Amino acid sequence: MTPVSIAEKSAKDMMAARENLSFDVETVRDYLFGGRTNWKTHKKIEDILKSDPAFDKSQRNFIGRVEAYERALAITNRLVELQRAHGWSKQERGQAAFILSEVLPITSHDVAFEPVFLGQASPAMMSEYWDLVSNKGIQGCYLQTELGHGSNVACLETTATYIPEAHEFDIHSPTLTSTKWWIGGLGKTVTHGIVQAQLILPGGENAGPHLFLVQLRSLEDHTTLPGISIGDIGPKACGGLAALDNGYARFNHVRIPRTNMFSKFAGVTEDGRYIRPRNPKHSFGGMMYIRASMVTAGGWTLARAITIAIRYTTVRRQGECDEHGLERQVIRYPSTYYRLLPILARAYVFIALGRQTLKEFTTITERSARGDFTKLSEAHAILCGLKVLVTNAVVRDLETARRALGGHGYSAFAGIGRLYADYLPAVTYEGDNFVLDGQVVRAAMKSYHAFMSTPSSPLGLHSSYIRLLKGNDPKPVLKEPTTTTIWQNSNSIVHLLEWRAALVLSEVVRHVDDLDANANQRLSKAVTDAFVAVKIGEMITGLDALPRREGDVIRALYHLYLLTTAEDALVDLFSTGLLQQSESRDRQLRLAIEQQCSRLLPDAVGLTDAFSFSDWALDSALGTFDGRVYEEIWRRAQLEPLNQLGNTPGYYESLRPMLQEGQKLTKRVNSRL
Amino acid sequence: MTPVSIAEKSAKDMMAARENLSFDVETVRDYLFGGRTNWKTHKKIEDILKSDPAFDKSQRNFIGRVEAYERALAITNRLVELQRAHGWSKQERGQAAFILSEVLPITSHDVAFEPVFLGQASPAMMSEYWDLVSNKGIQGCYLQTELGHGSNVACLETTATYIPEAHEFDIHSPTLTSTKWWIGGLGKTVTHGIVQAQLILPGGENAGPHLFLVQLRSLEDHTTLPGISIGDIGPKACGGLAALDNGYARFNHVRIPRTNMFSKFAGVTEDGRYIRPRNPKHSFGGMMYIRASMVTAGGWTLARAITIAIRYTTVRRQGECDEHGLERQVIRYPSTYYRLLPILARAYVFIALGRQTLKEFTTITERSARGDFTKLSEAHAILCGLKVLVTNAVVRDLETARRALGGHGYSAFAGIGRLYADYLPAVTYEGDNFVLDGQVVRAAMKSYHAFMSTPSSPLGLHSSYIRLLKGNDPKPVLKEPTTTTIWQNSNSIVHLLEWRAALVLSEVVRHVDDLDANANQRLSKAVTDAFVAVKIGEMITGLDALPRREGDVIRALYHLYLLTTAEDALVDLFSTGLLQQSESRDRQLRLAIEQQCSRLLPDAVGLTDAFSFSDWALDSALGTFDGRVYEEIWRRAQLEPLNQLGNTPGYYESLRPMLQEGQKLTKRVNSRL
């Protein structure tokens, strides 16, 4: 038996994993944060947060929804206090909320209420309300989804009927299914809401869904205003978003002034005439911004999970004995690193790509504001595709990471269960992924037909792969068995993935009247894979700006992303003939992936250190910086409420009687023998 | 707008879905339950349970762990009362527990403690303890896993040192990592435990892990006995298994009599000599039984989820308008039924295959008890493979089913979140799936080498596909573009999947010194897919015993299983050359799947009705029998504890001050203008 205890060994293993890194962690860290200044701001804010008792995380695994909600309010209050005390900008407070990584009821005010106000309120409404909104003198939410309608906004049932005699709208929930549902912050917290309702003009014409400001609760005592019925919709699956009071609301002929309509673009005159918006796409901005930010958010969510998984599998030893007679570190099993290192690669890609996406998106929004909508459709298609790709990958990868932790991965203390439960709805909200696939496909088909009829018309960024269908590039059929260089060359893989998208698209077009049921999902994935691949190619070029060692290791991660994307695409690559089936191309690819993983393995812990999660932020017994996982698991178990109780009432009422009855029965039997 | 409200329409849609079924539901129900008698027993028991207030489920989404534990004890007590009152056999009580579908702390007594007692206790221990055990005069658990060791039992650290002077064993936890961990029922409930510990003989020789009976708590007042430290290990990920008190235990030189060693096979004499067990495989039985039963359990778990998903997507309408001007039923979207109907097929396959597996396994155990171990290795390999295949599929399918429910699928009221959170650890316990893959591969390689050296030696059921490698069957390379009949013919697909296993195995053998990191997972899947396919072939033949219409619809489900298994295997099918890549074989396959789904779609609701879940048992607002989902969602939301509170303390302490400060700030700004 080893003289060093297993618990002690885990700390030594963690230290050893940080030696002999091929790169400097802080340089890579600065790359992830978008520069040293951003990192310093992040650290400054985190140092304030992590020592403040209001943000202590140690009880949060043990409390129910009511306590969690109360805790979230206290956290919110403290956050706003700190903002005022430190003079944080809105962006800095946003960063603080991001670092906190807590589910907060006020988030809907920040991400849904305020932006819609900014984007849709008339100058009059802005002057009346904006200061109150931005100072949080009122708290708002965005009431779109109904019990009966989520995706199909055109069929919402809530009505806003204009009453010309009173210069008022009558907001009404005509049916059970018109009840607003799922509205974040509504259940207990907000005072106001933006209600999306069918605008009914005098005479009965339905002008479609529009937005209306409705006060929901009294500013005096928070009671729900007359004619309105509000509540929380109940707990979420897997205990997710527990502190968030997603709510429902029903309106019983509630009157609001005409001026409460969000009328920057559309409107109703005093005598009830409808003012048509000049561009129907004006309201896309907010939704697109949220989708753009989901790329970065997905990346950082993966970063948390993979930090935990790589750290723990580095210190956990189990099974076969290595050359020192110690059980092998779990991360060294090929089946482990083959699963985990690609997730690390995806975290890096999504973080870097997300930053770039947000930047490009901001440019496009500024153009739209100036009336230039040319890039808007393209941006919409790209963001739909990215939203699907990122959220699908993150949900799947969170479970892969959790599963790699073995038994202790099922403990709440591992920290991944919470990440999963809170992230899960991302595949459904902001556009159900299956619906968004359809939009990506629609845009691709449109580009295809435009290109085929007029090859000289420019292809947008989201469709540039289509150029291959009429270009001079021969379809690259990989035939030569001795040529393995494709898998070693990032540009070759990018090119392959573009060809795959082009060929899958032309197959779908060819069979458009007889599509198989999976076609939308396959084509959407192919198109977005190609887009991301091209972006990675650009990002790889951008690495030249980094010092060589750091550029190399990130380049290796990006290359691994491309390799595993190709692995995921093998069916298409065979089916389209891009890979010849008789030459073990798939085996070559898997070996290339393994090789790439082996190259990255000694740097794995360092690469997760670059994410710079403090132990407080990560809140995981298995992901502590020092690797002392067993001591931490033990310590947390002592906090379990069941352990603060002696015998519970249930012991006396149920268990004890059952045991005693069983003992009695046995005595009777035994005494008869 | 439709005259019938959406809420009313959902009930009508559900009724319509039950018309024009191609088969009789009760006949298929009897097939699922293994006969009319089994069904009648099931119904009789369920009728007793579902009307008993002790088993009411309406509050369970709203309570925390302590309440959940207490509720579970009350349920257990009532269950045992009912057993005594109705004179249920052990099997009937087991069926009642299965119908209840509640997490109960006493389960470990039934599935881990009792069977090990039966299998490993000496006649003397049986005569002293068995009546107490089977009458529940004591409650037991099985302490194997430690903080530091799960999979690798050989390296457990707990010691049982024999003290010849006292005729006692000294049970001791020498290190932090030797602490027993994850033990179901230990945290608060049990009185006794079977402790697996390294047997240390006088002189210091370690004879390896053996089993020892240790009393943990007083039968008088349930206090923990001296020298023992016990607690609950804390909450699980995603709120899973909340009512189960998984516990930890540390032993500080606790003495037990020599006769407390489980010594049916191995033992220690009074003077400390070790008695070696005659067959090292004697202890496999319990573990194998559990794995065999996981096939059926997985099937019924899928059955619950798919009943919910098919019912809800039948009544939920969203998006495109159909020929009646109504939004389309979600289940009619190809991307929906393409995902859901294969899950329905897997539920049917796992249920039927599970019944068969348990039957065959019982035969093998009886043989082993008679000393005939010939089929044991084969059974072990098969059960490893099935455990991996079933648990991987169920976890993945539960999320697919949940995701198909759209927004409301994220509500706890949908019922799938709980299924997922409670089922999730199945991929890790009873053998981590990645470790089990290795065992399947080892068995396959062994069979391969035995067959290659002596082709006349018989292949076990788990390896029969290997016969193809030296047989006269030509490798079936599907070349003719006009031949689509393979996808229409179950036997052809079975044959194809056997060939795939054989070719993947020979590729792995060929590259055994240079395997890619994913090889074990691929080979294990291929081998088990082939085994299950052969079994399905047999099950299809067995359908001849059913009336024609019922046989047809189940046959269609089994065929769909085979089709989707082939779809999942496309990379291998291309890579091995079994499918020629230039002929759109993958597209043909997808069209065949779509066709099969279309054939089954009108029968979908009926096929889930055959599972016969009462609304009480299913406990899902989205899966009610009558389809009145919106009314049920609304009703349950009214029970949410947050809705029974007015303004919470947090409103006064945090929210109100923040709002008022914001309003003050605004007034100051406005008054200055």
Mean pLDDT of chain B: 93
Question: For B411-421, how does the pLDDT look when each residue is reduced to its tens digit (9 = 90+)?
Answer: 999 999 999 99
CB contact under 8 A, B131 and A666: yes
CB contact under 8 A, A649 and B139: no
Q: What is each CA distance from B661 to A80, A84, B665, in whole angstroms?
A: 10, 11, 6
DSSP calls for A432-500? -HHHHHHHHHHHHHHHHHHHHH-TTSPPPGGGGGGGGGTSSPPP--B--TT--GGGG-HHHHHHHHHHH
A13: pLDDT confidence band, cut at 50, 70 and 90?
A: very high
| Cα of B159 to nearest chain A Cα, Å | 13
| For residues A92-110, average pLDDT | 92
Which residues of chain A does B650 touch, with a Cβ-Cβ cutoff of 8 Å? 69-70, 73-74
A471: pLDDT confidence band, cut at 50, 70 and 90?
A: low
Asked if B260 contacts B214 with a C-beta cutoff of 8 angstroms, the reply is yes
Of residues A320 and A72, more confidence is placed in A72
CB contact residues (below 8 A), chain B span 628-657, against chain A: 630-631, 633-634, 636-643, 645, 647-651, 653-657
Q: How much is the pLDDT for B106?
A: 87
Which residues of chain B does A240 touch, with a Cβ-Cβ cutoff of 8 Å? 238, 410, 417
Question: For B449-474, how does the pLDDT look when each residue is reduced to its tens digit (9 = 90+)?
Answer: 999 998 888 888 889 999 998 865 55
How far apart CA B664 and CA B636 sit, in angstroms, is 40
CB contact under 8 A, B655 and A76: yes
| Cα of B315 to nearest chain A Cα, Å | 11
Query: A109-113, B429-433, B552-556 — which one is most confidently predicted on average?
Result: B552-556
Question: Does residue B201 belong to the interface with chain A, where contact is any CB pair within 8 Å?
Answer: no
How far apart CA A472 and CA A484 sit, in angstroms, is 24
| For residues A429-445, average pLDDT | 95
Of residues B505 and A281, more confidence is placed in B505
| Cα of A367 to nearest chain B Cα, Å | 31
pTM check: above 0.90? yes
Q: Give me the catalytic one of B114, B430, B498, B632.
A: B430
List alpha helices for A316-372, DSSP H. 334-369
The interface pTM score, or ipTM, of the predicted complex is: 0.96
CB contact residues (below 8 A), chain B span 237-256, against chain A: 237-240, 245, 248
| For residues B649-667, average pLDDT | 92
Q: Is B276 exposed, middle or buried (0-12, 13-18, 19+ CB in 10 A)?
A: exposed
Q: What is each CA distance from B542 to B39, B481, B555, in whole angstroms?
A: 20, 33, 10
Q: How much is the pLDDT for A414?
A: 98
For A584, the closest chain B residue by CA position comes to B575
Asked if B113 contacts B141 with a C-beta cutoff of 8 angstroms, the reply is yes
A24: pLDDT confidence band, cut at 50, 70 and 90?
A: very high
- Tell me the helices (H) and strands (E) count for chain B, helix number first: 23, 13
How far apart CA B117 and CA B276 sit, in angstroms, is 19
Residues 6+ apart with CB under 8 A from A9: A2, A315, A317, A326
pLDDT of A480 over the 50 cut: no
Interface test with A, best of B161, B335, B601 (most A CBs within 10 A): B335
| Cα of B617 to nearest chain A Cα, Å | 18
Residues 6+ apart with CB under 8 A from B649: A70
Q: How much is the pLDDT for B672?
A: 47
CB contact under 8 A, B70 and A245: no
Q: Give me the catalytic one of A114, A146, A168, A430.
A: A430
Please state the three-class secondary structure of B346-381 as a single string: HHHHHHHHHHHHHHHHHHHHHHHHCCCCCCHHHHHH
Which residues of chain A does B399 touch, with a Cβ-Cβ cutoff of 8 Å? 395
A60: pLDDT confidence band, cut at 50, 70 and 90?
A: very high
CB contact under 8 A, A587 and B507: yes
Mean pLDDT of chain A: 93
CB contact burial A58-72 (16+ within 10 A = b; e otherwise): eebbbbbbbbbbbbb
How far apart CA A421 and CA A405 sit, in angstroms, is 17
| Domains of chain B, each with CATH number or no CATH | 26-111 (1.10.540.10), 139-277 (2.40.110.10), 287-607 (1.20.140.10)
CB contact under 8 A, B135 and A414: no
- Mean pLDDT is lowest, of A87-91, B12-16, B454-458, for B454-458
Partner residue facing A237 (CB), from B402, B593, B657: B402
Question: Does residue A182 belong to the interface with chain B, where contact is any CB pair within 8 Å?
Answer: yes
Dihedral over Cα of A132, A136, A138, A141: its sign: positive
Which residue do the tokens 């043989």 mark?
B367
Q: Is B186 exposed, middle or buried (0-12, 13-18, 19+ CB in 10 A)?
A: buried
CB contact residues (below 8 A), chain B span 441-460, against chain A: none
Which residues of chain B does A508 touch, with a Cβ-Cβ cutoff of 8 Å? none
For B54, the closest chain A residue by CA position comes to A654
Percent of chain A exceeding pLDDT 70 equals: 96
Pairing outcome for strands B247-251 and B192-200: unpaired
How far apart CA A209 and CA B465 sit, in angstroms, is 61
Percent of chain A exceeding pLDDT 90 equals: 82
CB contact residues (below 8 A), chain A span 473-502, against chain B: none
Partner residue facing B637 (CB), from A248, A338, A399: A248
Nearest-5° Cα angle at A301, A297 to A307: 140
CB contact residues (below 8 A), chain A span 322-361, against chain B: 327, 333-338
Which residues of chain B does A434 touch, with a Cβ-Cβ cutoff of 8 Å? 333, 335-336
Q: Is B265 exposed, middle or buried (0-12, 13-18, 19+ CB in 10 A)?
A: middle
Which residues of chain A does B152 touch, with a Cβ-Cβ cutoff of 8 Å? 318-319, 327
| Cα of A375 to nearest chain B Cα, Å | 27
Question: For A341-384, how does the pLDDT look when each residue is reduced to its tens digit (9 = 90+)?
Answer: 999 999 999 999 999 999 988 888 888 777 777 788 889 999 99
- Mean pLDDT is lowest, of A185-199, A464-478, B27-41, B424-438, for A464-478
pLDDT of A482 over the 60 cut: no
Structure tokens at B663: 């309003």
Task: Tell me how crowded residue A369 is: count the other CB atoms within 10 A of its CB.
Answer: 11
For A515, the closest chain B residue by CA position comes to B591
CB contact under 8 A, B177 and A630: yes
How far apart CA A323 and CA A337 sit, in angstroms, is 19
CB contact under 8 A, B647 and A577: no
Asked if A616 contacts A51 with a C-beta cutoff of 8 angstroms, the reply is no
A672: pLDDT confidence band, cut at 50, 70 and 90?
A: very low
Q: Is A61 helix (H, G, I), strand (E, B) or coil?
A: coil
Asked if B596 contacts B553 with a C-beta cutoff of 8 angstroms, the reply is no
Question: Does residue B130 belong to the interface with chain A, where contact is any CB pair within 8 Å?
Answer: no
CB contact residues (below 8 A), chain B span 290-309, against chain A: none
Which residues of chain A does B664 touch, with a Cβ-Cβ cutoff of 8 Å? 137
| Cα of B615 to nearest chain A Cα, Å | 19
Q: How much is the pLDDT for B481?
A: 43
CB contact residues (below 8 A), chain B span 377-416, against chain A: 395, 399, 402-403, 406-407, 409-414, 416
Q: How much is the pLDDT for A671?
A: 57
Partner residue facing B413 (CB), from A234, A412, A580: A234
Question: For B85-120, how does the pLDDT look when each residue is reduced to its tens digit (9 = 90+)?
Answer: 999 998 898 899 999 999 999 888 988 899 889 889
Q: How much is the pLDDT for B480?
A: 45
Question: For A124-156, how does the pLDDT look when each residue is reduced to its tens digit (9 = 90+)?
Answer: 999 999 999 988 899 999 999 999 998 888 999
Residue B26 annotated among the catalytic residues of the structure: no
Percent of chain B exceeding pLDDT 70 equals: 96
pLDDT of B643 over the 90 cut: yes
Question: Does residue A584 belong to the interface with chain B, where contact is any CB pair within 8 Å?
Answer: yes
Structure tokens at B369: 């008890």
Interface A-B, measured as beta-carbon pairs within 8 A, has a size of 450
Binding region of B: 145, 184
CB contact under 8 A, B650 and A594: no
Interface test with B, best of A392, A575, A595, A656 (most B CBs within 10 A): A575
Asked if B629 contacts B370 with a C-beta cutoff of 8 angstroms, the reply is no
Q: How much is the pLDDT for A287?
A: 80
Query: A75-84, A530-539, B377-386 — which one is most confidently predicted on average?
Result: A530-539
Interface test with B, best of A63, A335, A572 (most B CBs within 10 A): A335
pLDDT of B202 over the 60 cut: yes
Partner residue facing B650 (CB), from A70, A234, A663: A70
pLDDT of B531 over the 50 cut: yes
